[in-house]
Amino acid sequence: MNGTSAGAFQRSSLTFRPQLARNRWNAVFTGLAGLATATAVLPLVLVLVYVLIKGGSLISFSLLTQLPPAPGLEGGGIGNAIVGTLLVTAIAALIAIPVGVGGGIYLAEYSSNGSFASFVRFGTNVLAGVPSIICGVFVYGLIVSTRIFFGQSYSAMAGGIALAVLMIPTVIKTTDEGLKLVPQDLRLGALGVGATKMVTITQITLPAAFSPIATGIMLGIARAAGETAPLIFTALFSPFWPEGVFNPIATMSVLIYNFAIMPYQAQISLAWAASFVLVLMILAANILARWLSHLARA
């Protein structure tokens, strides 16, 4: 074969020919994959659009700052539920972040291949799959029914503990995996210049893994903020402004549940408005988590 015919053969072999069977099948399966992707995203789009239509038009300053009205009455707002959600989620974060990050540090830095570490990882995976209502019942039996906090039963503290139980597995796993991504050379270099294990972890590995750890924390917070079942058993509900962490407290998810099943249009409208606000809060947390994950890859 001379040079001219070889060049022509190479050019023709690189030309896309859609009539070939393999290219037709490739187009078919590409279309099926795209259809499956669109089907998976469609429920999210429909939920966001429907909640926007039903609740977005009701957003106002008074809605975000006033107490809910008595059943059947017009007006009012969801201000106490917004404050309660932020308070309960903050309590959960204050509990789950130190425990989860500490557990992840132990798994990645101190006992990465031990039997106890394997047991903890297995337990973390199991706990991540436990239904949230089970966590609520557990905290109810442990804290609410025993009135362990100054004789109080339902409280914001109990709700925060229940949400912390749900957050801890996510924080542990992301911390563990984030620390594994840190190059071993950084640890060896720090130890080589005389740094202790603790100094190496606090000054080298944790800052290097900050972005994935922060991403896991934000995902855990986003999940906790939208839970309902654990809070029904622990924080209950209150139509008033929060009166401390050891008293019943209103939250967005429980307000939505309570008002959506009422036969009054005013309460149903407030439930849709609260749904819209809660979706925005969770969406913002997930966007922040995505941004932090992009920082980790940069």
Interval 37-77: pLDDT, tens = 999 999 989 988 999 888 888 888 999 999 999 888 888 89
Cβ neighbour number for residue 255 with a 10 Å cutoff: 27
Assess contact for 239 and 178: CB atoms under 8 A.
no
Which amino acid would we find at residue 89? Answer: T
pLDDT score of 212 more than 70: yes
Site of tokens 């606000």: 277
**What pLDDT is stored for residue 13 in this prediction?**
59
**What pLDDT is stored for residue 287 in this prediction?**
86
Mean pLDDT of the residues in the chain: 88
pLDDT score of 34 more than 70: yes
b (16+ CB within 10 A) / e for 215-252: bbbbbbbbbbbbbbbbbbbbbbbbbeebeebbbbbbbb
**What pLDDT is stored for residue 93 in this prediction?**
94
First vs last Cα of the chain: how many Å apart? 49
Distances (CA, A) of 149 to 132, 144, 158, 173, 246: 22, 8, 9, 31, 7
Q: Residue 149 forms beta bridges with which residues?
A: 152
Q: How many angstroms separate the CA atoms of 72 and 79, rounded?
A: 18
pLDDT confidence bin for 155, thresholds 50/70/90: very high
Short-list 142, 137, 132, CA closest to 253 = 132
Interval 185-196: pLDDT, tens = 888 888 888 888
The whole-model pTM stands at 0.84
- Sketch out the chain's domains with CATH numbers: 64-297 (1.10.3720.10)
